[in-house]
Amino acid sequence: MGFDQYHEPPDELPAETRTFARLAASLTEEAEAIGWYAQRLAVEPDADARAIMEDAQGEEFKHFCMDLEFLLRRTPTWQEIARGILFAEGDIVANGDAAEEGVIHGGGGSGNGSSPPSGRGSGSLGIGSLKETPR
């Protein structure tokens, strides 16, 4: 039984932070499972076994995405940075740098992107400039 997702005494953490930590740990586990299935599929020659593992990996994709969506909804700054990176055309690193610059350093950011969930979730995070960034 692990409580590894906590780096501070759990009884001192607000309930919403404990929930956030649980989903962050789940996100990590789903990503690990996706990677494990990728390795298994790379070496498995049996078509029936592959079909089962491909189906299972699809479940992990879904779980990962649901975890990520939950975490992003609870962390507006993270969500805004993700908007500049996910499903965007162009260079991933350049998009990441632009998203960070626009959200964290571009003014109007919440300034607490590393401390989710804030519970505030209000107003613009100043990403107007990201919308104009070529992708």
Size of the site for Fe ion (CB under 5 A): 3
Q: Which residue, 6 or 36, has its beta carbon nearer to Fe ion? A: 36
Q: Which residue, 57 or 77, has its beta carbon nearer to Fe ion? A: 57
Rounded to whole angstroms, how far apart are CA atoms 63 and 58?
Answer: 9
| Interface segment toward Fe ion; rule CB under 5 A; list 6-14, 27-35, 39-47, 85-93 | 27-35
- Residue 28: CB minimum distance to Fe ion, A: 11
- Residue 55: CB minimum distance to Fe ion, A: 12
Give the residue closest to Fe ion by C-beta: 63
Q: Which residue, 68 or 98, has its beta carbon nearer to Fe ion? A: 68
Cβ contacts of 85 within 8 Å, gap of 6 or more: 92, 95, 96, 99
**Inter-helix orientation angle 76-83/47-74, to 10°:** 120
Contact of 78 with 72, CB cutoff 8 Å: yes
Place of tokens 């759990």: 10
Tokens standing for residue 23: 């989903």
Tokens standing for residue 75: 């962390």
Binding mask 62-91 for Fe ion (x = CB under 5 A): -x----------------------------
Q: Which of 33, 53, 34 is nearest to 43 (CA)?
A: 53
Touching Fe ion, residues 37-66 (CB under 5 A): 60, 63
Q: Which residues of this chain interact with Fe ion, rule CB under 5 A?
A: 30, 60, 63
